[in-house]
Amino acid sequence: MTETALVKRVFGVTTFNIKEEALVALAKKHKSYEIVDYKSYQAVVAAIAEVRGWRGKVETHRKELKADILEEGRSLDGAAKKITERLWQIENPLKELKKVEDDKKEAAAAEKERLEKVRVAEIQLKITSINNMVTGFPTLNKDQLLTFFGEIEGTHISEAEYQEFTDHAKQVKAEVLEMILKAIKERVKLDQEAADRKAEGERLAKEREAQRVEAERLEQAEIAQREQAAKERARIELERKKQQDILEAQRLDQEKEAEQKAAAEDSRRDAEKAKILKERKKQEAALKAEQDRLDIERREIEEEKAKIEADKKAEKERKEKELAQKLYKEKQEKEAKERTAAAKIQAEKDAKEKAEQVEKDRIAKEKADKEEAERQEALKPDKQKLLEMADMLEALILPNILDKEAEAIRFQTRADLDVICEKVRRKVDTL
């Protein structure tokens, strides 16, 4: 390896003319050292000196050659700057002209987009107005619902008016008509249930009236029985009084006859008197038995009346309880049906709103993707310029510095430029 062969110029570029074989030979020459004594130690020192000498020569030539390269770089930068300024003078008016046209196109595109949004919003508003017609269904009767159905059915959905939303508008119209038909069926069912409840109420009212009439009849019958019993008691009392009068008269006659008879007949009279007394007791016992029978009949009548009243009251309470249970059950079923219908309507509405939102999100995403693609396309020149700037900064040749502190500044500058170039490239990727 000789000093005269250290550098050479290849196509105008200065390089070091040190072949790989020479470096391999130098490495091989100084590879197998082992310090065992002073002589071997001096051999290692000499080897270090030889390698350091060649390294110093390389560094010296690098500094000498780099000074010329830096001067060439500064001259090249000045010439490039002048040419670039002339090119900017040509390019800037063209870019301004292009910008005016681009602004016109962008304004036209924005106006077109605004008109498109207005058109879509108007059509969506029409479709929404058709869909909103279903509000208030529960308060309408059958005739009103039929009239409403005719109005909706008569709404004409034309392609000229609804354009690309024609199918959607027809679908919404069909859904509204279907909901009206369901509401009509539900209203007919509710009306029938109301009529059935009314008929049931009338039937129960008739039963209550019949029970009232029956109660009055029983009461009149009881009054008649009491009157008949009173008459019977009066008759028995009158009969008893007549019997007593007859007996009394007979007694008086017998006593008078007995008084007229002789004392000899005292024993016969006493026997006769005992017989009369026995007969009287028998009649009194018969009267008492009859009175007891009448009392028993009266108690039986009162017990029968009490039983009838209790049965009537129990029947009335049973029927009222059954009616209350039936009305409560019907109310619960009606409320459950209304909740189910409301939940179904809400679910259908939520599903439709979700579908509309999905469609809006899809359109918005397509628009955003398109705008991003257009933006990326428009950014390509600027991104290319930024990348070229990073390449220029990275290829910038810094001056050779002898002072250690200045060399540290040069080294830090090189590192900062590398960081800046990397940061520029990362930010360009994020644009």
CB within 8 A of 369, min separation 6: which ones? none
For residue 424, give the nearest of 397, 388, 398 by alpha carbon.
388
| Rounded to 5°, angle at Cα 212 from 207 and 216 | 145
How many CB atoms lie under 10 A from the CB of residue 217?
10
Please report the pLDDT score of residue 5 as a whole number. 43
Identify whether the C-beta of residue 169 lies closer than 8 Å to the C-beta of residue 162: yes
**How far is residue 347 CA from its own chain's centroid?**
8
Q: Rounded to whole angstroms, how far apart are CA atoms 398 and 400?
A: 7
Q: What are the structural domain ranges in the chain?
A: 135-334, 379-431
Identify whether the C-beta of residue 152 lies closer than 8 Å to the C-beta of residue 178: no
Token output for 418: 């590398």
Identify whether the C-beta of residue 159 lies closer than 8 Å to the C-beta of residue 124: no
Read off the pTM. 0.31
Please list the rounded mean pLDDT of every run of 10 residues in the chain (431 residues): 43 56 84 83 85 80 73 74 76 77 84 85 80 68 77 78 82 82 82 84 82 81 78 78 75 70 64 74 76 78 79 80 78 79 78 82 85 85 85 76 81 83 86 78
Tell me the residue type at 265: E
Identify whether the C-beta of residue 178 lies closer than 8 Å to the C-beta of residue 153: no
Please report the pLDDT score of residue 7 as a whole number. 44
Please report the pLDDT score of residue 78 as a whole number. 77
Q: Rounded to whole angstroms, how far apart are CA atoms 348 and 203?
A: 42
Please report the pLDDT score of residue 134 as a whole number. 64
Please report the pLDDT score of residue 258 as a whole number. 62
Angle of the 20-29 helix axis to the 38-131 helix axis, nearest 10: 130
How many CB atoms lie under 10 A from the CB of residue 336?
10
